[in-house]
Structure 1
Amino acid sequence: MNVFESLKCNSIFLVITSLFLSCGGKVTDASNSPWERMDLIVKSIPQAKFLENSYNVIDYGAIADGVTINTVAFEKAIKACAENGGGKVIVPTGKFLTGAIHLESNVNLHLEDNAEILFSTNPKDYPIVHTSWEGTELMNYSPLIYAKNKTNVAITGKGTLNGQANSANWWVWSGGKSYGWEKGIPSQNDPANREVLVDMAEKGVPVEERIFGEGRYLRPNFIEFFECNTVLIKDVKVINAPFWILHPMKSNNIIIDSVTVNSHGPNNDGCDPEYSQNVIIKNCIFNTGDDCIAIKSGRDADGRRVALPSKNIIVQNCKMIDGHGGVVIGSEISAGVNNVFVENCIMDSPNLDRAIRIKTNSKRGGVIEDVYVRNLDVGTVKECVLKLNMFYNVYGSQTGNFIPVIRNVILENVKVKEAGKYGVWAEGYKESPVENIVLKNVNIEKADSIYLLKNVKNFNFINTYINGKKVESIKN
């Protein structure tokens, strides 16, 4: 069964389960309780399991001196593990330099406590593969760790994954002056690069003909599971990423547990589930140069071509420090997002712009609905606690004929010390207002303004206080 068949089967399971609960009468109707629905989703997600066999990369020629390139040794160890039914590929104490690592089914890449994998900064160490860049599929540099069409696969252990990105190598490709770029240095912003990729997607050029890589300066993702099923990422620390960090792409049944992400480079999103379903992100720490968690579903025409929404995304017991947003949906969101659950998180930094954010525009489109948030402890955010924006614009003109939908968002039991400019910021279209929003038991101690609301409908404030003042609901 491929991952798309698995996605369909899992969706059918959830629908049948909900119908059973609602008809049986013995259990509370799951359709009336989002948090009961969340519990059903959690119970439906299988756990990755592996044989007890171990394959130490040292035994396959790896040298832990931080200088010798160990790509072949990692490849041999992973191949031996997979050919013998799976198990653990052990990375012991030491510093291991390598190029791209490609995982296989039934393989757990396990880093011992003082192990560190240093990833080469030479683009030639990353072969061209089918991947994605900012929500558009293409043939580009392999992610640093990559798995495609694999089942039952993991990265575990308390070691460190070090992308070694900085302003002298990958980050300078962003074209950002704060990341080392100067006039005359090539970057992703050159006309032959990002713009060409987007144009190819808009024209429907087949993915296999969107060949980038050398000379095109589109940075690789760090860890990407592409069309995979039953994945575990647990305990590892990830630092200095070239680009997006944890990227489940068209994948199903993902558990990301107790991972620490500390990377302040450009586009350094902590975790980007894209076109993915049944994803749990729990007990993690995100300290990032971009969004801590950003749920995606493709950009513009490419997202509408794939037409696979991200759904059943669960975030629990995480800590967000620096970043553009704590939990974000968008902006590459054209296939839509639904059934997002966020609970028991701490978000606090003067360098964290927002707590919860949905960002789209009429070029992206997408239906974003059924987002449930509870029990947040927010210290300081720079701009606002909740931002729902249908006019997101970062790359010049971002308008089109695909009016987005944002509806059914609930925040409850949220405590905030400082919210920055606004407690809440929501902007919709007259023909598509931001609608059915609830803030219940929310207390924002300090904000420059209570809210900025344009084209909203059924915006409910229940026992909610901003600057010590009880906020009244808006029903228009």
Structure 2
Amino acid sequence: MQRSLSNMRKSYQTLVISSLFLGSLLSGCNSEKRESGQEQPAASEQPTTDPFAEADEIIGNIRIPQFADTTFNIMDYGAVGDGEKDNSEAIAKAIKSCAEAGGGKVLVPRGKFLTGPIHLKSNVNLHLEEGAVVLFTEDQKAYLPVVHTSYEGMELMNYSPLIYAYQQKNIAITGSGTFDGQAGNNNWWPWCGKDVYGYKEGAPRQQDEHNLPRLWKMSEEDVPVAERVFGEGYQLRPSFFQPFECESILVKGVTFTHAPFWVLHPVKSKDITIDGVTVVSHGPNNDGCDPEYSRNVHITNCTFDTGDDCIAIKSGRNWDGRRVNIPSENIVIENCKMKDGHGGVVMGSEMSAGIRNVYVRNCTMDSPNLDRAFRIKTNTLRGGFVENVWFRNVKIGQVKEAVLKINTHYGTYANQEGEFMPTIKGVHLKDIEVENGGEYGVLIHGREANPVKDVTLTNVHIKKVEEPVSIKNSDPVQFENTIINGAKYENDDE
């Protein structure tokens, strides 16, 4: 524990010092400086130039994978698309041959191909033709042996993600086919512990002492990741697609459905493009996309119809986040449709290493089941920071609870109070049109010891909402041409 406390203090001091430096992320930075997420100055003050010029520069600097013009058809390696034959070996052989030949396209043609987990290698583009369906086996033992992965912001050795890449470069998943995780009330989902997802009283679940509480303790005591072994006999569900410590990643055109847990989950990765992807998955914790400890991320032209947050930006949970200490940053989200889920664009709650430089534009959100459009959630056990966040030109038909919710008292589990005061500053909404904002237009619940700072609403029009503004422990919110329930707001109501 003494070693953990020492690491905690060092990480916290580093976080505080870094937050004192203000300025634009990209001004004067060369490409080598962009490689380091720790040395870039925080940009929390509203710039005088268009902040989305920085978003465009982020997009322009992302390295998109390129592949050799060579095709490796899985049928040539013995694959059968009848939905019954196990094609794990055939797909693995095709990927291995492709990588050894210098890269190219691994082709999955029309048909239904049953398989175990798929492990991508550098320079491989896994391409699904129209009509191709990849079905992941319901045999949970097929996802063993355990691999180095992450669960709710904590690293561990666990079941393999359904599609996994570890320390690879120049990888892609493309096409117009479908990945079906085949998770459901009889497979993976019951472990969440909720009856609606098939849980039966007395069956093991993720909240049991040998599961999440054991992992929390291992994280707090700084147990080496290699010794945090779970997998068989434990109930922690795998992510769907997880590139771990990878570079130059493309996911384009495909559909994901029936996920065990988080769907798209890049961890400690950079230069990520997610384009034209559809996620339709309503299981427990079925977040659509969760960039974690990741930077230079472009999410565009996607549709999210999910059982949890559509997009949730993460950076580690509690002790693990402070140990890793890599902020998620330089993230551009545009031209996306959020149909259903707990939140449209969310930051947290696993955000202990911090989040900065997030740009959201030209998106639509509309569902009576979409709880919040924009959300930031943390507490004094998570700590962390969120700064330099921009939302522009977003059309919202209906949300259930709030258009903007900032909560520094978030707590799903008990004992969420600690010694790590979160910092939230520089959150800007502009050109936002809302038909029905639900319960609140703006809901901010900050901390008296460190209020939320620098929140602005410009050209925000909310036609209907029960309570326009509810703010606690925040510097005055700045309103400009903001109209809620027909009334013009010039400043906050405190």
For this structure pair, what is the TM-score category when the shorter chain's length is used for normalisation?
over 0.9
Shift of 1:33: 3.1
Partner of 1:43: 60
Tell me if the contact between 1:319 and 1:347 (Cα under 8 Å) persists in the aligned partners: yes
1:120 aligns with 2:137: yes
Tell me if the contact between 1:14 and 1:41 (Cα under 8 Å) persists in the aligned partners: no
Shift of 1:289: 0.3
- Quick one: which of 167, 175, 184 aligns to 2:202? 184
Partner of 2:376: 358
Partner of 1:255: 273
Shift of 1:284: 0.1
- The SS at the match of 1:192 is coil
> Normalised by the size of structure 1, how large is the TM-score?
0.94
- Quick one: which of 96, 101, 114 aligns to 1:79? 96
Tell me if the contact between 2:440 and 2:466 (Cα under 8 Å) persists in the aligned partners: yes
- Quick one: which of 445, 451, 457 aligns to 1:439? 457
- Quick one: which of 354, 360, 367 aligns to 1:342? 360
- Quick one: which of 258, 263, 273 aligns to 1:240? 258
Structure 1 unmatched ranges of 5 or more? 1-7, 18-28
What is the distance in 1 between the residues matched to 2:384 and 2:33? 26
Query: What whole-Å deviation, never above 9, does each CA across 1:102-158 have from its counterpart, x for those lacking one?
Result: 000000000000000000111111121000000000000000000011110000000
What residue identity is the alignment partner of 2:74?
V
Partner of 2:441: 423
- The SS at the match of 2:433 is strand
- Structure 1 residues 370 and 392: alpha-carbon distance in aligned structure 2, compared to 1, 3 A threshold: same
What residue identity is the alignment partner of 1:85?
G
What is the distance in 1 between the residues matched to 2:424 and 2:493? 16
What is the distance in 2 between the residues matched to 1:193 and 1:271? 24
Partner of 1:146: 164
Shift of 1:403: 0.7
Query: What whole-Å deviation, never above 9, does each CA across 1:21-54 have from its counterpart, x for those lacking one?
Result: xxxxxxxx98843111111111111111000100
Shift of 1:472: 2.7
Query: What whole-Å deviation, never above 9, does each CA across 1:396-440 have from its counterpart, x for those lacking one?
Result: 221100010110000000000111110010011111101100010
What residue identity is the alignment partner of 1:166?
G
- Quick one: which of 377, 383, 390 aligns to 1:372? 390
Tell me if the contact between 2:375 and 2:405 (Cα under 8 Å) persists in the aligned partners: yes
1:463 aligns with 2:468: no
- Quick one: which of 284, 288, 295 aligns to 1:277? 295
- The SS at the match of 2:97 is helix
> Superposition pairs for residues 67-216 of structure 1, below 5 Å?
67-127=84-144, 128-216=146-234
- Quick one: which of 57, 65, 74 aligns to 2:74? 57
Partner of 2:316: 298
What is the distance in 1 between the residues matched to 2:165 and 2:401? 37
- The SS at the match of 1:464 is strand
- Which has the higher mean CA deviation after the structures are superposed, 292-301 or 43-52? 43-52
Tell me if the contact between 2:154 and 2:317 (Cα under 8 Å) persists in the aligned partners: yes
What residue identity is the alignment partner of 1:88?
K
What is the distance in 2 between the residues matched to 1:469 and 1:182? 50
- The SS at the match of 1:89 is strand
- The SS at the match of 2:271 is strand
> Superposition pairs for residues 16-31 of structure 1, below 5 Å?
none
- Structure 1 residues 88 and 10: alpha-carbon distance in aligned structure 2, compared to 1, 3 A threshold: farther
Tell me if the contact between 1:457 and 1:474 (Cα under 8 Å) persists in the aligned partners: no
- Quick one: which of 227, 231, 243 aligns to 2:245? 227
What residue identity is the alignment partner of 1:246?
L
Partner of 1:5: none
What residue identity is the alignment partner of 1:446?
K
Question: How many aligned residue pairs are there?
Answer: 458
What residue identity is the alignment partner of 2:133?
E
What is the distance in 2 between the residues matched to 1:299 and 1:351? 27
Partner of 2:11: none
Shift of 1:61: 0.9
What is the distance in 1 between the residues matched to 2:32 and 2:118? 37
What is the distance in 1 between the residues matched to 2:379 and 2:28? 28
> Normalised by the size of structure 2, how large is the TM-score?
0.91
- Quick one: which of 33, 50, 62 aligns to 1:33? 50
What is the distance in 2 between the residues matched to 1:15 and 1:83? 29
Shift of 1:11: 10
Shift of 1:275: 0.1
Q: Which has the higher contact order (CA 8 A, sep 6+)?
A: 2
What is the distance in 1 between the residues matched to 2:238 and 2:139? 12
Runs ≥4 residues deviating over 2 A: 8-17, 29-33
What is the distance in 1 between the residues matched to 2:470 and 2:167? 45
- The SS at the match of 1:471 is strand
What residue identity is the alignment partner of 2:373?
A
What is the distance in 2 between the residues matched to 1:34 and 1:194? 40
What is the distance in 1 between the residues matched to 2:258 and 2:63? 31
What is the distance in 1 between the residues matched to 2:217 and 2:490? 46
What residue identity is the alignment partner of 1:112?
E
What is the distance in 2 between the residues matched to 1:287 and 1:334? 27
- Quick one: which of 414, 422, 432 aligns to 1:404? 422
What is the distance in 2 between the residues matched to 1:132 and 1:406? 25
Query: What whole-Å deviation, never above 9, does each CA across 1:58-99 have from its counterpart, x for those lacking one?
Result: 111111111111111110000000000000000000000000
- The SS at the match of 1:456 is coil
Shift of 1:12: 4.6
Partner of 2:307: 289
Tell me if the contact between 2:469 and 2:493 (Cα under 8 Å) persists in the aligned partners: no
Tell me if the contact between 1:31 and 1:37 (Cα under 8 Å) persists in the aligned partners: no
Tell me if the contact between 2:288 and 2:304 (Cα under 8 Å) persists in the aligned partners: yes
What residue identity is the alignment partner of 2:69?
E
Identity %: 55
- The SS at the match of 2:58 is helix
Tell me if the contact between 1:30 and 1:36 (Cα under 8 Å) persists in the aligned partners: no
Shift of 1:13: 2.2
